[in-house]
A and B are shown apart, each in its own frame.
Chain A
Amino acid sequence: MENRAKFNLKHSIDVWKTELSQNSNMTRDNINELESHLQDEIQELVKLGLSNAESLLIAKNRIGNIKNLTTEYSKVNNEVYFKNTITPYLKGILFFLTYISIAELLTHSSILIAYKIGLNEGYLNLITIELLILLTCILLIFFYKKYKHGNFNMRKLTNIPVLVSTIIVSKFLIYLNLDITYSIKFSIMQNNLYAYKILFGLFILGISCIIYYSSSRKHKIKIVK
């Protein structure tokens, strides 16, 4: 017998809608329409004597799984399909640009602070390098924790408006103090930043190669002659 106290039909339907929204090429209007269909189907099944949980299960099966729905809707939602395909790449690029902008802002800020408090170039050089290493460590620890807990939901972190705003604000702050930071003879710090950008780029390339190599090895099927 169904445990009515535990089963919440509305919540279950909301979960299903969220899954559709996140993993298919359907628009909000498409999903709301399918929800209406699901509810009609459930209503009919309940009339036949099935419980809410059973009705939902059957109705969901009749509508089809996400993969099939995506295939069907791709015939009419080309635009959504294109956007869904390109968005992860766009987010990756934006995330990289944001990170580099933050590193740049940190370097420029440290130059400014050094200028204000009168630190010498050699001493500041160490602080800048330490700041960049710290930033890298924070990023690596963050990703390691995500990896360890098997939670790679990056939706909040890769929110496009947040990333774009961060880039704009960082670039604006850098631009505001550009005259000062470039007029001061702290060129070694600028060099540190350039070197860091190159190293970080190489790091990304290395990681990409490792991931590509390991995944292609795992998916390779030996052809027996």
Chain B
Amino acid sequence: MEKLSKELIGASTIPIILSILSKNESYGYEIIQNVKKISNGKIEYGDGTLYPVLHKLEKKELIASYWKVADSGRKRKYYKISDKGKKELLTEKENWTVINQIISKLWKIEPNLI
């Protein structure tokens, strides 16, 4: 299965993470598995690369983290979206919609570009 380009994955990481967390609080491993499942394996975050992104979002106060003991008895660090993160997600949605509209228009006019 062909994966998406590194640049495209990088650009979509923040809206994807915020979207997942807007539905439910989650932890790193679960986020990676969710993204892999939703994208049918086209987006697969490296195990060691997702956490710095999560910490960056946390520094920007878009998400918040806390440790919780899971049902299995093990401690896990959970992330949840903040109000600022919800606003950011709305902006991201608008931006991606605009991009989507532009691309759709272009490809309708010049389908040979594909």
A residues whose Cβ falls under 8 Å from a Cβ of B: 29-30, 32-34, 36-37, 39-41, 62-64, 68-69, 72-73, 75-77
State which residues 25-73 of B face A: CB under 8 Å. Answer: 27-29, 46-49, 51-52, 55-56, 59
CB distance from B31 to the nearest CB of A (A): 10
The answer to whether A64 and B47 touch (CB under 8 A), given A33-B28, A36-B27, A37-B29, is yes
- Nearest CB in chain A: distance from B108 CB, A: 39
A residues within 8 A CB of B59?
76
Decide if the interface of chain B is mainly helix, strand, loop or mixed. Answer: helix
Q: Which single residue of chain B is at the shortest CB-CB distance from A74?
A: B52
Query: How many contacts A-B (CB < 8 Å)?
Result: 48
Chain A residues with CB under 8 Å of B27's CB are: 36
**Interface of B toward A, CB cutoff 8 Å:** 27-29, 46-49, 51-52, 55-56, 59, 74-77
List residues of chain A with CB within 8 A of the CB of B52: 72-73, 75-76
Q: How far is the CB of A220 from chain B (nearest CB, A)?
A: 34
Cβ–Cβ < 8 Å partners of B76 in chain A: 36
Bound CA–CA A37/B27 (angstroms): 9
Q: How far is the CB of B64 from chain A (nearest CB, A)?
A: 14
Q: How far is the CA of A30 from the CA of B50 in the complex (A)?
A: 12
* Contact call A69/B48, Cβ cutoff below 8 A: yes
Given A72-B52, A75-B52, A76-B56, A36:B47 Cβ within 8 A: no
Q: Given A36-B27, A37-B28, A73-B52: A62 and B77 within 8 A (CB)?
A: no
Assess whether A72 is in contact with B47, with CB atoms less than 8 Å apart: no
Q: Let me know if A39 and B74 touch, CB within 8 A.
A: yes
Contact at A36–B77, with CB atoms within 8 Å?
yes
- From A29, A32, A68, B48 is in contact (CB under 8 Å) with A68
Q: Which residues of B contact A30 (CB under 8 A)?
A: 51, 55
Contact flag A33-B51 (CB < 8 Å), given A75-B56, A76-B56, A76-B59: yes
Complex: A77 Cα to B49 Cα, angstroms: 13
CB distance from B92 to the nearest CB of A (A): 20
Q: Which of B29, B46, B59 has the most CB of A within 10 A?
A: B29
Interface core residue of A30, A40, A64 (most chain B CB under 10 Å): A40
B48, B51, B76 — most chain A CB neighbours (10 Å) = B48
Q: Are B55 and A76 in contact (CB under 8 A)?
A: yes
Kindly identify which residue among B46, B49, B56, B77 contacts A33, using a CB–CB cutoff of 8 Å: B77
Report B3 CB to chain A, min CB distance, Å: 16
In the assembled complex, the Cα of A69 lies from the Cα of B76 at a distance in Å of: 20
Contacts of B56 in A (CB 8 A): 75-76
The interface residues of chain B lying within 8 Å CB-to-CB of A41 are 29, 47
B46: A residues at CB distance < 8 A? 62, 64
Closest to A64 in B: B48
B68 to chain A, nearest CB (A): 11
Do the beta carbons of A40 and B29 come within 8 Å of each other? yes
